[in-house]
Structure formats: C-alpha cells, structure tokens
Chain A
C-alpha cells in the first residue's frame, strides 16, 4: 500500500476549519509525550501547563490581559494577510504606537482632562499607522518587498525606544535608569475588574474583532481585498486597485498594533521602558493563522496563545522545566498547523503499489 496526496478539485471547506483543531490536538498529544520523555507525569504536566494558570479569577483575568495585545495585532494583520499583504513588522508598529500615545501621557503629565486617555489611544493608532505607512509607500511606489521593509523597521523602532528611554524621555528622578516617569492615574487605562489587571483594552480588542468581521464579510472593500488575495488577476480584471489593498492592509495592521502598544504602556506596565513587548507582534502572526484569519478564530487562538505563555511560567514554577517550554509549544502549534493545512488542498489516498 502506498500513501498518495491527490489535489482536491477545490479547497476543502471542512479541512479549513478542522486543520487548526487538528493542530491543537497534535500539539497536546506531542506535549504529553514531551512530558513523558522529560520524566514528568503527563497528567500532572497537562494540569500544570493548561489548567493551573486558570485556577482562580485572577488567573483568568491575566489570560485575557495577555491575550489582548495578541488579539489586537492579529486582527489587524489578518486584514492584510487576506489580501496577500505581508506585514511582518507589527512588533515595530506596536512600539511606535506606545511611543506616540506615551508622549501625550508624558507631555500632559498631571492633566485631569478626560480627553487625555482617548487622545492617547488615537495617537497610538496613528503612530502604528505611520510606521506601517513606510513599507506601504515603498511597496506601492517602488515595489519594495514589504516583508523585508516592515521587518527591518522593527529594529529601527526598538532602537528608537531605547534611545528615548535612555535619553530625552528618561525619568529625571530615576537615577539615570532607562525608563520614563510612571504615567499618572488619568493616563492609565481603567480596570474592568478590581483586584485584577484586565483593563478596557480588552473591550477595544473585542470591538476590533467585530469591526474586522464586518469589514471583511459585509463591505465591498473587504470583498475586493479577499478577491485580490485569492485571485490577483481576477481582481485586477475587475478593476480592483492592488495599491489600495496594500495601503488598507498595512494601515489596518499598523493601527491595531499601535493600539496594542499604547494599551500595554498605559495598562499593565504604566510607563515606557525598554521592555514593552515580549514579541506580541510576531506571536500575533501565529495567532492570525491558527485563527484562520477570521475574527472568531482569532479570539480563541489568542486565548490559546496566551495560555501557552502562562503555562510555560507554571511549568517552571511547579515542574522545574526550563522557560523555553512555552516556545516549544508555540513552535509545535505552528508546525502542526502548517502540516495540517496540506489537507485543505490535498486529499490523502491509499493506492496499491504497482508491481
């Protein structure tokens, strides 16, 4: 007998949705085997990794807090990804968003205006968009590959943050340590649940998912972008502007990443430091694809991804496993997803080997 992959006449709808579930299942299974190999009880390992983080309301709130920036970045990126616009630089757009909004917080320090916080959020979105506009312009004007330019701008953004917190924006009373002053209460996002850290940014994220869904499924522009992504020539023949797709894709990603950035510094961090994001902009790409570029999928996949981060912390604390365990799980998830995606366009068939 012989296993053969046959091209399907058209992509399988069932597999499109089954594939991420298959990937999650395979990740769990390999995780159990991994725990066994490391000499830990798989049941105990599973409990510590996936259930322990959620043992109380604080833990659940932390899960949503951690998922918020992932949700925001992923939904923004998915708009571009659908149209084959590959924005790899959400991490940089997130940082510039944090700087733009954070600048307002520092500049209007002590202000009690109710407009300060909304202004910071808008500035965050604009900052992220401005950073994303650079690769969009280079792509539409000079046909420069946006994968490279958006990625390289991440490093520029990181250096910019570093320069500002070591230099002009350094807290004057902070003994030269690289961080800004703490934001005042009026420049900090209100909490949703007292005693936890989950804040209104979660509402922004869920709002963004809803808007993202309406745009992609109910608007003509969203339809054009999907067509441009699935069949470039058909889109061009129908007169849909490819340039406009690039602009909208990049700016949507930039805006959402920027909101994620300002939400982190005006939320759980409370100031600008060199360590705003542990790579949310990059992790969001996995989130977007595991979520099938759909807002509902992204909601669940960002929660899963957040759980993988938190599970890794628990595994260190209770199983004495190294911190890299989170990355191993994230990597397995993406690996199995890409593997399972083969079944969308191909069908496995057993054929008899020819003599």
Chain B
C-alpha cells in the first residue's frame, strides 16, 4: 500500500514538474544595475524607461527589478553576483564601469545572460550594446546651423572619451554642412553629473555669444539655462539622453533621445526563446535606439523637411555623418573623400574636426 502510494505520488510529482516546465509558469526574473538614481531625466532614467517598456511588452512572462546608485568600484561585482544568485536570468549592467565586474561574475553563472551597455569586452554569456548617438547629434547640428544668428554653438561636455567626441564632431559637421561660418565651442566640466558646473559652463558659453547650446552631461541644467536666457539672448538648446522639453518648453529646439525599450524587448525575447547566441549591437536611428526629441514649432518647415530627408537617408544607409572627407582641427585628413569612417575609427576618436573652435586639453 505504502509503496504504491509513494510511486503514485512521485508519478504525480513528475507530471507536475513537467507541466510547470512546459508552461514556464514562473515569470523570468530580470535585473538591472543603474549607476545613478533613476530621477526624472538622464542616462539612467532612459534605461529605466526601457525597462518599463520591455516589462509591459512581455507582460506576465517577466518580472524586473533594478538596483540604483551602484558605485562603479568594488561594490558592483557583489551586487551583480547577488542578482544572479537571486535567480535573475537576464541581467543588464548599464554603465561603462561595470564592464570588468560583469565579466568577473559571468563565468560562475553560465545559465544567466548578461548585457553590458557601452563596453567593448564580450564573453560567452556577456553581450554588449550601445547606440549611435552621433546620428542624432548630426541632425541637431543641422537645425542649429540653420537657426543660429551668432554662428556660435556652445557644447558642455563631461570627459573626452570617444562617445563624447563623436557627439561634438557630428554636431559640428551637421552645423557646418548648412552654415560654413558656424563654429562650436566646448567646455569640459570633468563630471558626468554636476548641475552647478554644467549651468556655469552654459552661462559662460552664452555670454561668449553662443545662441545654440547643448550638452553631454547628465542633468537638465544646460537646457534650463537656455530657457532662462531665451528671452534676453535668444538662446536655444538641444537636449541629450532624455527629451527635456519639460525643462525647456520654449527654448528646446530638439535633442537626441536614447530609446532602450525596443532593444531590451528584442533581446529578452531571444533569450526566453533560447535563440540568443550573443549580442554586439551598436544601433542607431534605423534600429530605433535613438530618436530626435520633438522638433520645436519655431523651426521653419523647410528646415524640418531637410532634417526629415537626412534622417531617412541615414536610416537607409545612404548618408553617414562621418562621410569623407573628414578633416581634423589641424587640417589633417582623417577620412578620404568617398569613404565613410569605420566603426573602429569612430571608437578611437580623440580629436576635434574642423569647425570646433576650442582646443582639446592636452594630457
């Protein structure tokens, strides 16, 4: 009797197990690691928007969790490991400084898929992803070139890493393509997030005559500074990371907005369907990983049309913001006529192109 009961019980148990495995009753846990608090604009905010979009698209199949304000030092490894240990099957680490910690944790959890944003090292279960922000910058530059009265644009930037250099140079090329007299001035604030310094830099640029300003820093201070000076000086701004129209309702002309949701949904589906074999994505306008912030009503219709046309050409692969000839500040030709800059060349960009009026701080 007893024996039969046990046998029956184990049969039922096995059947139950099999069915839960088939149905995948438990939603898959997905973890996100953020470098700063989510806040209401900026780099991390955009990743969190992406997380929410993905969770909504995969309703019922996944649950997500994020840990914010994780320092990029020794602590990151512990937090990433805890997420993996806690049963998260997909983990997104969304800042450059998590590259080596992610790679250290990954081998211990071969069943977990890791995705690291902005890095350059991959592994069997570590994919990398980033976006071609420079495409949006070029289009922003075109608008700036058409709208400027002083022919001076100001750019508040964090650190001269290639991603930031690409933005400055693409913006400058866009601006000069429609306005040969245009010049771009850059102020480095040596910080990714420092509203005080960012604002001070913006004000300095405005007082030097810049009527178009933008930023590659994480706060809304630059857009707010332009809004404040708009009436007096006719200053316009371009937002970065997030659409910051809330902070610059009058003065924000457009901007380059990061969109991670579609990408997150796509790779999560791949992993869940067991089709994921690795990721090394550098996506742009075409892939929907960046978008122009809504164009201000003050932009004339013909400019809007020109921007839309260029956007279409970039998406179709007919136009490249770094199409040769690309000449640097010293007059050296970096890309010959008829050629496009390669991804590797862009990844090593450490110079200003012609049209940037500032000089790069020397190391």
Which A residues contact B (CB, under 8 angstroms)?
58, 62, 65-66, 159, 162-163, 166-168, 174-179, 182, 197, 264, 267-271, 273-278, 309-310, 313, 316-317, 322-324
Contacts and interface: CB of A to CB of B under 8 A. Distances in A.
Given A174-B120, A177-B120, A273-B97, 11 more contacts: A162-B190, A175-B347, A176-B350, A177-B161, A182-B100, A269-B74, A271-B100, A273-B72, A274-B97, A313-B79, A317-B83
Nearest to B119: A177
Interface size class of B (residues with CB under 8 A): 20 to 34
B6 interface: no
Q: Provide the main secondary structure of the chain B interface.
A: loop
Contacts of A316: 67-68
B91 to A, nearest CB: 12
B181 interface: no
B73 A323 contact: no
A182 to B, nearest CB: 7
Contacts of A167: 363
Contacts of B71: 275, 278
B67 A317 contact: yes
A166 B159 contact: yes
Contacts of A175: 120, 162, 347-348
9 contacts: A166-B160, A166-B363, A176-B348, A197-B74, A274-B72, A276-B73, A313-B79, A317-B86, A323-B69
Contacts of B96: 177
B37 A323 contact: yes
Nearest to B73: A275
Nearest to A310: B78
Nearest to B77: A268
B162 A176 contact: yes
Nearest to A320: B65
A264 B348 CA distance: 29
Contacts of B161: 176-178
A176 to B, nearest CB: 5
Contacts, number: 79
Pairs A-B, 4 closest by C-beta atoms: A167-B363, A268-B74, A323-B69, A275-B72
A278 B75 contact: yes
B10 interface: no
B137 to A, nearest CB: 18
Interface string B47-83: 0000000000000000001011111111101110111
A44 B72 CA distance: 29
Contacts of A313: 67, 70, 75, 78-79, 82
A322 B37 contact: yes
* Residue in A174, A176, A271, A313 whose Cβ sees the most chain B Cβ within 10 Å: A176
Indicate the member of A168, A182, A276, A317 with the most B CB atoms within 10 Å. A317
Contacts of B160: 166, 176
A279 to B, nearest CB: 9
Contacts of B78: 62, 197, 310, 313
Nearest to B190: A162
A31 to B, nearest CB: 19
Contacts of B70: 313, 323
Nearest to A312: B69
Contacts of A264: 73-74
Contacts of A178: 159, 161
B342 to A, nearest CB: 14
B68 A323 contact: yes
B35 to A, nearest CB: 10
B93 to A, nearest CB: 14
Between B68, B73, B74, B97, the greatest number of chain A beta carbons within 10 A of the residue's beta carbon is seen for: B74
Name the residue among B72, B78, B79, B100 with the largest chain A CB count within 10 angstroms.
Answer: B78
Contacts of A277: 73
A267 B104 CA distance: 13
A117 B190 CA distance: 32
Interface in B153-180: 159-162
A168 B363 contact: yes
Nearest to A316: B67
A14 to B, nearest CB: 38
A197 B75 CA distance: 11
Given A176-B161, A176-B162, A269-B73, A317 B100 contact: no
B164 to A, nearest CB: 10
B173 to A, nearest CB: 20
A317 B162 contact: no
Among B82, B86, B100, the one with the most A-chain Cβ atoms within 10 Å of its Cβ is: B82
Interface string B185-217: 000001000000000000000000000000000
